[in-house]
Amino acid sequence: MQVKNLAWLGQLGDADLRLLRVFKSVVECGGMASAELELNIAMSTISRHVKDLETRLGLVLCRRGRAGFALTPEGEQVYDAALGLLAATDAFRGRLHDIHRRLGGDLHVALFEKTASNPEAHIAAAVARFRQAVPQATLHLHVGTIGMIERGVIDGRYHLGVIPEHRHSDTLAYTDLFGETMQLYAGRGHAWFDPPAPAPDWDALRQQDLAALGYHSPNMALAHQRRLERRATASDQEAVATLVLSGAFVGFLPDHYAAGFVQAGQMRAVAPEVLRYTCRFSAIVRRSPAPSRLTRAFLDALQQAHRTPPG
């Protein structure tokens, strides 16, 4: 990437970081209109900030108009570079807090979806412990897919993530926290909603239309292991639930998440003693650089909450 206004490189200040953060939000929201809600500032102000950044860099970063928002090739490179710069800036601020031996600042934690209803997950209790121990910190909670959380922790956007274990990366350190039970469900209208006899097994499941997560996960690993062909893919558990509720597919869901649909008579677990699997959730942090004291404080709160569940 060639920056025309090279003098800018030696004059990076807080104002430039603010412009880069606005640009980052615009890219991640997919346009200025969506970023208006995220940033809580007027779209005209956002547009002016992006234009100021383009002027500072001497580059056209994005196209906006009737055709929609799109990054230019230079904009894509600036976005990638901004992620690294902003992550490094946050890490520097965290180190300064460490040097001054006081905890504070921003902590970004990313969680895999549907953990709040899991009785084995005590993340809310960990948040309470952390808040009591570090009241001056600002906690930002995010929810995402496994891959998004892993990439976010690796590139520094998130300081810590909580995901179901499916494969290990040498770049990350894992701390085991809690488990989850996944059961197969059929919705009203599906042939398996009223339990067939004999009870279905894995061979019978191979003949059914299965809805499953469409990215690498314990769910996908199970499909490969059991040679299950997916007839529909989903971006998250709610999408799986919607496909199951249609009566056209069966799918695996966390038992705690599906409980409400079961109580409403909208779906049933199929052969729960056989068609089920379990997975473990772990906290992940980067191995290098070492986690900040603020990150370690939240990790400690997670470990304590799961060693001593709330009464």
Domains in the chain, CATH or no CATH each: 6-92 (1.10.10.10), 105-311 (3.40.190.290)
Query: For residues 269 and 195, what is the distance between their CA atoms, to the nearest angstrom?
Result: 9
pLDDT at 63: 87
Q: Which two tokens stand for residue 47?
A: 């547009």
Of 103, 87, 94, 93, residue with least CA distance to 137: 103
Q: Does pLDDT of 6 surpass 70?
A: no
Average pLDDT over residues 259-267: 97
Q: Does pLDDT of 99 surpass 80?
A: no
Q: Which two tokens stand for residue 290?
A: 């070492």
Of 181, 166, 267, 281, residue with least CA distance to 224: 166
Query: For residues 43 and 298, what is the distance between their CA atoms, to the nearest angstrom?
Result: 35
Higher pLDDT among residues 209 and 195, named by residue: 209
Of these ranges, 30-39, 45-54, 263-272, the one predicted with the greatest mean pLDDT is 263-272
